[in-house]
């Protein structure tokens, strides 16, 4: 499994904690920055992560900004990305089970590092249920392609 990680300055510290945590678990990472805490523009990082997932450079992605809102919007602009902003374990579970989310968004200024790491674990270990949910994910693709 290879995970793309990207964050703006508001998510930089949490990104670094997640990076260490995932590396300790033996998970391969693609760190797309930012690599310092100086102010940067979140859309660039959300886009980079989304593109890495869609291009097959990573199996899934994690994006982080101050609240997770802006960077999740940016990632979702990349065709084929289903980025879910999660603030609880249940949201992470449902994002995978029902929405087949391929990118997780987190808020570096709203989550404790401990909760964020637990959310990451749930997101990365939960499988998509398929079934009736596949039809709904297919409808999302139709919206994206202008056929719905």
pLDDT at 37: 78
For the question of residue 98 being annotated catalytic, the response is: yes
* N- to C-terminal Cα separation, the chain: 33
CB neighbour list of residue 132: distance below 8 Å, 6 or more residues apart = none
Domain of residue 54, CATH code: 3.40.1400.10
Which entry of 98, 133, 135, 141 is annotated as an active-site residue?
Answer: 98
Single pTM value for the model: 0.97
Q: How many CA atoms lie within 13 A of 37 on its CB side?
A: 6
Number of domains in the chain: 1
For the question of residue 83 being annotated catalytic, the response is: no
Which entry of 34, 65, 83, 86 is annotated as an active-site residue?
Answer: 65
The residue segments making up the domain with residue 118 are 2-145
Beta strand 83-85 with 103-107 is parallel
At 28-60, the pLDDT tens digits run 999 999 998 789 999 999 999 999 999 999 999
What is the number of other CB atoms lying within 10 angstroms of the CB of residue 138? 10
At 71-102, the pLDDT tens digits run 999 999 999 999 999 999 999 999 999 999 99
What DSSP string describes 115-131?
HHHHHHHHHHHPPP--T
Task: Name the residue with tokens 């450079």.
Answer: 57
Percent of the chain with pLDDT over 90: 98
């Amino acid at each position: 499994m290879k995970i793309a990680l990207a964050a703006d300055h508001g998510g930089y510290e949490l990104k670094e904690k997640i990076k260490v945590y995932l590396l300790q678990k033996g998970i391969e990472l693609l760190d797309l920055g930012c690599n310092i805490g100086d102010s940067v523009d979140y859309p660039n990082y959300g886009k980079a992560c989304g593109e890495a997932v869609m291009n097959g450079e990573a199996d899934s992605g994690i994006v982080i900004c101050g609240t997770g809102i802006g960077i999740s919007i940016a990632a979702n602009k990349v065709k084929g990305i289903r980025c879910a902003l999660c603030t609880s374990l249940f949201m992470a579970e449902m994002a995978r089970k029902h929405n087949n989310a391929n990118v997780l968004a987190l808020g570096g200024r709203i989550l404790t590092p401990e909760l964020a790491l637990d959310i990451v674990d749930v997101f990365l270990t939960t499988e998509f249920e398929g079934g009736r949910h596949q039809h709904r994910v297919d409808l999302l693709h139709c919206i994206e392609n202008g056929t719905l």
